[in-house]
Amino acid sequence: MSDGTLNEPFVSLDDPVALRAYAHPLRMALVGLLRREGPMTATQAAQRLGDNVPNCSFHLRQLAKYGLVERVPGADGREKPWRATAPATRWNSGRTDPESQAAVDHLEGVLIARYAEKAREWLARADQEPPEWREHTGPGDAQLYVTAAELAEIQERMQAIADEYAYRNADPASRPDGARGVTVVQFVITNEAPRS
């Protein structure tokens, strides 16, 4: 257990069991909540997510088994809060064994469904957004012809830009006036089958 600060840049999930364990919408929501808002009890998490305490407690314990969350000392010593162990979760999408690839495919399918739901929620309230926010939110795409190495470079550069602002996630005092939480979603898909 640590002092409550996020010391590692990401949690790496390699085991198919861990990948499948993380691929649960409530578990992903719990980890995301702890990453955004910091340590909180299962009761607080249940209130924020509109779920019940026993369910959140169970899923937090499951997440702890795979190193995604952990307990931290509480203010009163009765109910100890949970915290995320790192600001991000990563896994290798290019698996060679069928069991691991099936687990990755399942996890990524759950993620895509979650992001599609978030996009629908945003669209339902987008008309309430100020023009300066509407102008820079919403879908977009770019058609490119690149090699695998060039694609890796593009992803690294995009991550580097996001990393410049990531410290604000854990430090609310560093957020400038007018800053709001945003989710930048990246889907990189191929448009054609590989050529032989």
More confident residue, 167 or 43: 43
In the chain, where are the structural domains located? 1-196
- Worst-scoring range by mean pLDDT, 61-70, 73-82, 116-125? 73-82
Per DSSP, 135 falls in state: T
Note the pLDDT tens digit of each residue in 29-69: 999 999 888 899 999 999 999 999 999 999 999 999 999 99
Which position has the token pair 């690839």? 101
Structure confidence at residue 184 (pLDDT): 86
- Worst-scoring range by mean pLDDT, 17-26, 114-123, 129-138, 165-174? 165-174
Structure confidence at residue 163 (pLDDT): 86
pTM of the model: 0.78
CATH number of 1-196: 1.10.10.10
DSSP 64-103: HHTTSEEE---SSSSSPPEEESSS-EE--S---SHHHHHH
